[in-house]
Chain A
Amino acid sequence: MSSLELKDLYDGFRNPEVIKSFQKLIASEAEKLDRTVNIMEVCGGHTHTIMKYGLTQLLPENINFIHGPGCPVCIMPKERIDHAYTLAQQEDVILLTLGDMIKVPGSHGSLQDARAKGADVRYVYSPMDALKVAEENPTKKIIFFAIGFETTTPMSAALLDVVIKRNIKNIFFHINHVTVPEVMKELIDSRDEHVNSYDHRIDAFIGPSHVSVISGSKIYAVFPEQYHIPVVVAGFEPVDVMEAIYMMIKQFNEGRSDLEIQYKRLVTHEGNLKAQALIEKYFEKVDLFKWRGMGNVPNSGLKLRDAFAAYDAEVLYKEVLPYDEIDDHKLCICGDILRGFAKPQQCSVFGTACKPSSPLGSCMVSSEGACAAYYKYGNLL
């Protein structure tokens, strides 16, 4: 093959024959392992790929997946959804958001429910769509409910950049951006001695694809260096995931814990520096961010820098926003699933009281959540 066609970027990395080849290679490497290894795919996109293509069924029994917390919709706590719900009901407000966020219930209902009650809540494909909404509604306040990991943070920053440069006065932000390395650290650091057994410990991470496109693989250097846990940054296609697992098992067999990139066609060690500079210009860390299913995670959330407080809906509407703590549903075991102590089908309400259409817990709320992926592809019911 001498030149690349667009379809190669899809078909080449989904080729069933290549997937089968890696299945054989992994099987022969995995025979040399002396115990079961637990691989955490941090990102919900990988969970989706693993379940959609049935990759768990292609792997030997001594390779176990732990489905991590990398779904930005799933991890949004009810407190933040309640913020959005409250903001949507303020006078002259149009609330914009992305993805499945509109469907996720807070303590009074979802943003979809708020819309049914008359609030102006809109789903946008891109943050930049806010510019058009703002232009068409000059008397309204447009609040962008910003969600997502490092993948989507620079897009919110780019919108704010345009808002400032064009001196647009009616676009505001409610920031819920979170960062991946901090929650990976929390997953390791929060383990008690008694659960840090071979059965439950995280032996390796599959690094997220598109978080890494922006931030570079450098953000995971701490894991091999300080925790001696290998990280392989992988693409989202099934061949990418299988190759990453092969690279990982080879690391185990060779006694290495390295940071490697399988997704070389898009990820470098340094990442997209312009996007990183935009994030740095407009955002700063918050001390704690509560993750649904995980609890408070230190330094894992972002907010607008004080210099841009005039654009911060959380500051402007401080008086009306609710600040009550809300517990996760008592029957939901999502926290245990995200930490690798349980699988979705072990939850008493999985597929019965908790379904994608009526989720009780975070792992079921978006298609990238572990429970939603098991529900859709797992053939477990």
Chain B
Amino acid sequence: MCLSIPSKVVSIDTEQNSATVDTMGIQRTAGLDLMEEETVAIGDYVLLHIGFIMNKIDEEDALESLRVYQEILEKLDEEDRRQMVLDDDNCPVREAP
């Protein structure tokens, strides 16, 4: 019910106050009734819910989150590698099996 879908604005119909959006290849019409005039533009990422655009997706914030996740991945990878070296250093049995 509350699940909404990220979509991309393909065109805008000012007369109908609606936009055509692309949701992973599927195009549909969404009302702009909940958005201030001229705040939504072609190419914007928006959240679609029961036939309405609820809000714009802040591209900078989305990219920032993805960047942070990448950093976390890299940091943990590095820690994992260090741990492997440490484990190897402390390995009690040196003979190959």
Chain A residues near B (Cβ < 8 Å): 1, 3-4, 6-10, 12-13, 15, 17-18, 21-22, 24-25, 43-45, 48, 70-73, 98-100, 125-129, 147-149, 151-152, 154-155, 158, 161-162, 208-211, 213-214, 236, 239, 243, 264-266, 272, 274-275, 278, 366, 368
Measured between beta carbons, the chain B residues less than 8 angstroms from A4 are 45, 59, 62-63
CB distance from A233 to the nearest CB of B (A): 13
B73 touches A128 (CB 8 A): no
Report B-chain residues with C-beta under 8 Å of the C-beta of A125: 50-51
Across the interface, do B1 and A9 meet the contact criterion of CB distance under 8 Å?
no
Query: Which residues of the other chain, B, contact A18 by a CB distance below 8 angstroms?
Result: 69, 72-73
Within 8 A of A (CB), among B49-97: 49-52, 54-55, 57-59, 61-67, 69-70, 72-73, 76
Q: How many A-B residue pairs have CB under 8 A?
A: 143
Residues of A within 8 A of B70 (CB): 1
- Whether B34 lies near A239 (C-beta < 8 A) is no
Question: How many B residues, CB 8 Å from partner?
Answer: 37
Q: Is the CB of B69 within 8 A of A15?
A: yes
Within the complex, what minimum Cβ distance (angstroms) separates B68 from chain A?
9
Interface flag for B4 (CB, 8 Å): yes
Interface class of chain B by DSSP: mixed
Across the interface, do A8 and B2 meet the contact criterion of CB distance under 8 Å?
no
Instruction: Report yes or no: B2 in contact with A149, Cβ–Cβ below 8 A.
Output: yes
Candidates A70, A99, A208, A266; contact of B55 at CB < 8 Å:
A266
Check B3 against A6 for contact (C-beta < 8 Å): no
The answer to whether B72 and A155 have CB atoms under 8 Å apart is: no
- Chain B positions within 8 Å of A73 at CB level: 1
Give the most central of B1, B34, B54: most A CB within 10 Å: B1
Q: List 22 A-B contacts (CB under 8 A).
A: A8-B66, A9-B6, A21-B69, A21-B73, A22-B72, A45-B3, A72-B1, A99-B1, A126-B31, A128-B31, A128-B51, A152-B1, A155-B49, A210-B2, A210-B49, A213-B4, A239-B69, A266-B58, A272-B35, A274-B34, A278-B33, A368-B1
Nearest-Cβ distance from residue B28 to partner chain A, whole angstroms: 9
Contact: B51 with A368, CB < 8 Å?
A: no
Check A98–B47 contact: CB distance below 8 A. Answer: no
For the complex, give the distance between the alpha carbons of A59 and B7 in Å.
31
Residues of B within 8 A of A128 (CB): 31, 51-52
Q: Closest residue of chain A to B75, judged by CB?
A: A21
